[in-house]
């Protein structure tokens, strides 16, 4: 794969992300000479201003309808644990899939799709020009044509995979059209260019595979992209003109599209993907603060990153703001997790716990029910209260790293670079150690869950109550771990407590089970999502659409009187 471009064709290099301590008494401030990559980023940033629609005719929807749809979307999104910046794309995908039930080929789907997005206030009313309807429909027609061509003659399971892939990338391109963000792409590619050569290619079959995995890891750790977004960006890298064709001119991409599809699917689920991501995550914090500085000082960022004093001040300002926001995100994410768990708990109580008590146990056990309702939220609260936010020592370190990132070209000292070798992370010292550590690791599951089951048995929990308790404790612990990772996003100075190894020993099995339940069970068998998407949403959105059309009809009749 060609390297992702950042509005330039420079060879990818990596600056050394370490520098000596900053001298606080430096007077006057020393100018910082930018690297060619930083200069290219500044150039891309200045060119990346999004032009608002100049169309005199805007799409408008009823505000009464909009309020009802907005409330519905808020409730719907509460039962799906997804980061805020990914919700709109997911909504586009959900709307397309629902409308495909009655309109398999997506004909004339663009206008109702855009109106649903306006109803739910993913876009403000009267901000999208009517020309967007035709442009969105062209994207829909293109991808549905590609889906039909790629799926023809293939096995049913593969057709399903291709269909899901096409709808995902379709939703991404629609969102990109309606809310373009070229600066995001410039920043992602800048981070890629800087980090690329820090990872050795020893563990991969070639440099292309290594480069793809690094790009995927940066999308996940820096941009917080989900798999559909990553698939779309990889598709644009592998088939660069995919966004410029229509269904009539799409024959030119068909020969390479299926190969790109296979490569992307393998890349998203690559066996070394998690290890690359974990290695890249430790290098991302200074880039996150750089992104904040660019976004908050768009017009003056060039003068800021070339002046030591101003750069240090802005880094400190951005870090303090992010630390405060981390506390807020911590609370918001905790509340969303609590609502998700509470609603799921109610469903489980009616489906499993109460029927078991009535028909099998013969009596209602109030203690297990009370514990199952009270303990998971208390556990979440305790974990959040004890979570620490980074401090001044972390800010100073981030400043040192940013100063090195913007000024040093990797080509100057590439042979002195300390490469991250993923293979070192997977090599075992001996078969004996591997067997011993594997046995100990499995033993932690027996000890942890054995202790939980033993205590619950002493408290009089039956099998159903025990299963529900373990189900929600593992989920809460996993969600809490994800919430805590929010505060660690900007952390470069490690703060491991004395009891951390002991707590990890007992909580790691619980988090692993919670991760499996969240990813494999709840995602595929989420009762609440099924209720919202198929039992509530279809008739509700149909009523909303009819009401909106009636309001529009009445408005036209009123204009005729005038």
- CB 32, CB 305: distance < 8 Å: yes
CB atoms within 10 A of CB 38: 23
Contact 334, 78 (CB under 8 A): no
Dihedral, CA atoms, 31, 36, 39, 40, nearest 10 degrees?
A: -170
Q: From CA 40, how far away is CA 23, in angstroms rounded?
A: 28
Alpha-carbon distance 76 to 29, whole Å? 52
Q: DSSP letter at 429?
A: S
Note the pLDDT of residue 9. 42
Distance spanning both ends of the chain, measured CA to CA: 62
Nearest to 290 by CA among 418, 398, 393: 398
C-alpha span between 300 and 311 (Å, rounded) = 11
pLDDT for residue 428: 47
Handedness of CA 296, 299, 302, 303 (dihedral sign): negative
Residue with tokens 């930018």: 34
**Rounded Cα gap, residues 1 and 18, in angstroms:** 29
Please say whether the beta carbons of 331 and 487 come within 8 A.
no
Low-confidence ranges of the chain (pLDDT < 70): 1-29, 50-54, 78-81, 333-334, 336-337, 340-341, 344-350, 410-430, 433, 486, 494-503, 519-538, 549, 552-553, 556-560, 562
Please choose, from the candidates 178, 180, 219, 196, the residue with its C-alpha nearest in 3D space to the C-alpha of residue 95. Answer: 178
Alpha-carbon distance 95 to 445, whole Å? 41
**Looking at residue 6, what is its pLDDT?**
44
Question: Which secondary structure element, helix H or strand E, spans residue 321, and what is its range?
Answer: helix 308-348
Which residue in this structure is represented by tokens 């000596």? 20
Taking Cα atoms as reference points, which of 446, 456, 455, 439 lies closest to residue 509?
A: 446
Q: What token pair was written down for 241?
A: 């003109």
| DSSP 8-state code for residue 416 | G
CA-to-CA distance for 13 and 192, rounded, in angstroms? 9
Cβ proximity of 466 and 456 under 8 Å: yes
pTM of the model: 0.77
Residue 186 near residue 44, CB atoms below 8 Å: yes
Closest CA to 463 of 375, 368, 370, 366: 368
- Give per-residue burial for 367-402: e unless 16+ CB within 10 Å, then b: ebbebbeeebbeebeebbeebeebeeebbbbbbbbb
CA distances from 73 to 66, 89, 116, 335, 551 (A): 10, 13, 10, 17, 21
CB-count burial class (<10 Å; 0-12, 13-18, 19+) for 118: buried
Q: What angle do CA 249, 267, 422 make, to 5 degrees?
A: 150
What is the SS3 assignment for 129?
Answer: strand
Exposure b/e, 493-518, CB count within 10 A at least 16 = b? eeeeeeeeeeeeeebbbbbbbbbebb
Q: Which two tokens stand for residue 359?
A: 């028909």
Contacts of residue 227, Cβ cutoff 8 Å, sequence gap at least 6:
168, 268
The pLDDT of residue 83: 79
Distance CA 287, CA 298 (A): 16
Q: Which residues pair with 251 in a beta bridge?
A: none
Neighbours of 540 (CB within 10 A): 15
Among 384, 396, 383, smallest CA distance to 320 is for 396
């Amino acid at each position: 794969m060609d390297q992702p471009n950042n509005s330039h064709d420079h060879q990818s290099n990596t600056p050394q992300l370490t520098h000596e301590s900053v001298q606080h008494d430096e007077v006057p401030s020393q100018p910082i000479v930018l690297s060619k990559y930083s200069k290219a980023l500044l150039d891309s940033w200045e060119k990346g201003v999004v032009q608002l629609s100049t169309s005199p005719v805007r799409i408008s929807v009823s505000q009464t309808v909009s309020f009802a749809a907005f409330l519905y979307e808020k409730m719907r999104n509460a039962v799906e644990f997804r980061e805020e910046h990914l919700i709109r794309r997911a909504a586009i995908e959900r709307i397309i899939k629902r409308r495909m039930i009655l309109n398999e080929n997506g004909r004339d789907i663009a206008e109702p799709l855009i109106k649903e997005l306006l109803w739910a206030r993913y876009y403000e009313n009267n901000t999208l020009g009517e020309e967007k309807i035709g442009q969105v429909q062209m994207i829909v027609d293109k991808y549905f044509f590609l889906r039909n061509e790629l799926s023809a003659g293939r096995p049913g399971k593969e057709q399903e995979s291709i269909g899901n892939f096409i709808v995902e990338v379709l939703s991404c391109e629609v969102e990109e059209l309606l809310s373009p963000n070229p600066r995001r792409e410039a920043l992602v590619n800048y981070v890629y260019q800087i980090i690329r050569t820090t990872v050795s290619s020893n563990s991969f079959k070639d440099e292309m595979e290594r480069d793809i995995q690094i790009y995927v890891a940066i999308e996940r750790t820096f941009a917080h992209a989900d798999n559909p977004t990553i698939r779309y960006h990889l598709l644009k890298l592998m088939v660069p003109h995919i966004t410029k064709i229509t269904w009539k001119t799409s024959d030119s991409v068909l020969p390479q599209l299926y190969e790109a599809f296979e490569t992307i699917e393998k890349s998203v689920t690559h066996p070394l993907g998690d290890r690359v991501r974990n290695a890249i995550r430790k290098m991302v914090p200074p880039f996150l603060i750089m992104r904040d500085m660019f976004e908050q000082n768009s017009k003056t960022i060039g003068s800021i990153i070339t002046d030591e004093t101003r750069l240090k001040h802005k880094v400190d300002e951005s870090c303090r703001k992010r630390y405060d926001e981390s506390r807020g995100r911590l609370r918001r994410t905790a509340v969303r997790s609590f609502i998700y768990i509470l609603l799921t708990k109610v469903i489980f109580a009616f489906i499993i716990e109460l029927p078991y008590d009535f028909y099998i146990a013969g009596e209602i056990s109030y203690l297990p029910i009370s514990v199952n309702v009270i303990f998971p939220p208390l556990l979440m609260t305790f974990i959040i209260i004890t979570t620490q936010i980074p401090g001044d020592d972390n800010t100073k370190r981030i400043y040192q790293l940013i100063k090195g990132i913007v000024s040093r070209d990797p080509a100057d000292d590439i042979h002195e670079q300390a490469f991250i070798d993923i293979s070192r992370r997977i090599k075992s010292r001996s078969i004996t150690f591997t067997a011993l550590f594997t046995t100990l690791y499995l033993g932690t599951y027996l000890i942890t869950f054995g202790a939980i089951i033993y205590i619950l048995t002493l408290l009089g929990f039956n099998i159903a109550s025990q299963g529900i308790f373990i189900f929600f404790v593992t989920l809460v612990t996993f969600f809490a771990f994800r919430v805590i990772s929010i505060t660690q996003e900007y952390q470069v100075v490690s703060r491991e407590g004395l009891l951390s190894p002991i707590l990890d020993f007992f909580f790691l099995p619980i988090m692993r089970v919670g991760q499996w339940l969240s990813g494999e069970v709840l995602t595929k068998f989420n009762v609440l999502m099924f209720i919202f998407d198929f039992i509530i949403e279809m008739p509700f959105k149909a009523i909303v659409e009819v009401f909106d059309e009636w309001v529009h009809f009445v408005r036209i009749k009123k204009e005729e009187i005038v």
